């Protein structure tokens, strides 16, 4: 039913809604195909779930801690060498939550914050931040009008790529009911994360930068300030998905206190952060599902994102690749 293939033309106006990894990869690819690409994001910057947050003067990654080897390879396979952002390798000293050493992950990331990756992909491409697109209106055969949440028209486009998480994409798909129906079925999981700046490193974590394993509350804990190009004694305390689901409606203060307590128990000492910031990602995780369709009949409205192609950073990269294949000459 909805299987379009219409190659993008030189100078064609394309809007990309969402400047996360999937949206910026698509924008980069379309820009190389000589489309006129304009990217919108409701946040202050790029990255989405690879964004960074301010903790006073410091910048701390708020989403995925980095790319693993296969994710970096998938990125290299998709991008020409000239577009591949510089990524640095991090090999954190790792342990399980009993502080027994384990072999840690190998992670690649941009400096000085993860959002440097998406920012680099948008080199030479128009980016409009703090613009939440609220409506997509099919004006005539070949034109879509974008309106933001205040009703301001943000432009008319030949083609629109929606690279927002599925629950946020649904309301933008009124004009493509079959696609909207498929996207409505996608479920995403929440995740709480606590960012801390400490006066000094807890003694028990002196040699450690990464903790993971079995724990009733915690998924992973990492020393964000130890990543390449970062500074400060900053830590990210990530809650488990099932715990986050159970506590999704709790107040930020309650969750902050629970995660801080779990972290202090690991360190066997009270923790008094210099600064802290709690964040609830309502749509952190897309699971392993894949969407059976991802564009309108004429390939003029397309969706992409981790939730389209199996979840995670792998899914975001794969969905961008599939979309670009669909619109390439």
Ligand X SMILES: Cc1cc2nc3c(=O)[nH]c(=O)nc-3n(C[C@H](O)[C@H](O)[C@H](O)COP(=O)(O)OP(=O)(O)OC[C@H]3O[C@@H](n4cnc5c(N)ncnc54)[C@H](O)[C@@H]3O)c2cc1C
Note whether 321 binds ligand X by CB under 6 A: no
Note whether 63 binds ligand X by CB under 6 A: yes
- CB proximity list for 14: less than 8 A, separation 6 or greater: 8, 30, 35, 36, 37, 38, 157, 158, 159, 160, 161
CA 264 to CA 258: how far, in whole Å?
10
118-137 residues near ligand X, rule: CB under 6 A: 132-133
Nearer to ligand X, 4 or 105 (CB): 105
Nearer to ligand X, 250 or 297 (CB): 250
Nearer to ligand X, 41 or 233 (CB): 41
Which one of 137-145, 152-160, 206-214, 305-313 is the stretch in contact with ligand X (CB under 6 A)? 305-313
Tell me whether the omega of the peptide bond preceding residue 166 falls within 30 degrees of 0, making it cis: no
User: Minimal CA–CA distance to 191: which of 98, 278, 113?
Assistant: 278
Supply the minimum distance, in Å, between the C-beta of residue 306 and ligand X: 3
CA 51 to CA 240: how far, in whole Å?
20
From residue 168, give the alpha-carbon distance in Å to each of 29, 186, 315: 23, 11, 17
Place of tokens 């899914």: 315
Note whether 247 binds ligand X by CB under 6 A: no
Note whether 15 binds ligand X by CB under 6 A: no
Nearer to ligand X, 50 or 127 (CB): 50
From residue 131, give the alpha-carbon distance in Å to each of 112, 150, 164, 290: 25, 9, 13, 28
The only residue of 12, 23, 209, 237 in contact with ligand X, by rule CB under 6 A:
23
Per-residue contact string for residues 167-196; x = within reach of ligand X by CB under 6 A: -x----------------------x-x---
Longest dimension (CA), the chain: 65
The only residue of 12, 27, 30, 41 in contact with ligand X, by rule CB under 6 A:
41
- CA 198, 201, 202, 205 torsion-angle sign: positive
Note whether 161 binds ligand X by CB under 6 A: no
* Residues in touch with ligand X (CB under 6 A): 17-23, 40-43, 48-50, 63-65, 132-133, 163-165, 168, 191, 193, 238, 281, 284, 305-306, 312-314, 316
């Amino acid at each position: 039913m909805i299987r379009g293939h219409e190659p993008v033309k030189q100078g064609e106006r394309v809007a990309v809604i969402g400047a996360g990894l999937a949206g910026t990869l698509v924008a980069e690819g379309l820009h190389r195909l000589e489309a006129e690409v304009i990217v919108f994001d409701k946040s202050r910057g790029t990255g989405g779930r690879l964004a960074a947050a301010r903790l006073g003067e410091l910048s701390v990654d708020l989403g995925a801690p980095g790319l693993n080897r296969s994710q970096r390879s998938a990125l290299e396979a998709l991008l020409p060498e000239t577009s591949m952002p510089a990524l640095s390798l991090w090999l954190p000293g790792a342990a399980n939550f009993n502080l027994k050493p384990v072999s840690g992950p190998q992670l690649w990331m941009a400096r000085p914050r993860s959002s440097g990756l998406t920012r680099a992909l948008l080199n030479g491409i128009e980016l409009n931040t703090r613009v939440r697109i609220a409506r997509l209106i099919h004006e005539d055969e070949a034109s879509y009008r974008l309106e933001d949440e205040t009703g301001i028209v943000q432009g008319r486009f030949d083609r629109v790529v929606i690279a927002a998480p599925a629950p946020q994409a649904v309301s933008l798909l009124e004009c493509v009911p079959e696609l909207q129906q498929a996207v409505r079925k996608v479920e995403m999981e929440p995740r709480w994360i606590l960012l801390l700046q400490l006066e000094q490193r807890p003694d028990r974590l002196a040699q450690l930068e990464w903790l993971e394993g079995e724990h009733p509350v915690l998924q992973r804990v990492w020393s964000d300030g130890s990543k390449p190009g970062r500074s400060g004694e900053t830590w990210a305390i990530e809650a488990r998905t099932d715990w986050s689901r159970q506590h999704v409606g709790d107040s930020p203060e309650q969750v902050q206190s629970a995660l801080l307590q779990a972290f202090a128990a690991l360190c066997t000492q009270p923790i008094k952060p210099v600064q802290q910031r709690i964040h609830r990602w309502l749509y952190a995780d897309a699971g392993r599902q894949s969407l059976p369709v991802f564009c309108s009949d004429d390939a003029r409205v397309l969706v992409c994102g981790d939730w389209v192609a199996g979840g995670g950073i792998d899914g975001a990269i794969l969905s961008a690749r599939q979309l670009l294949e669909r619109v390439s000459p």
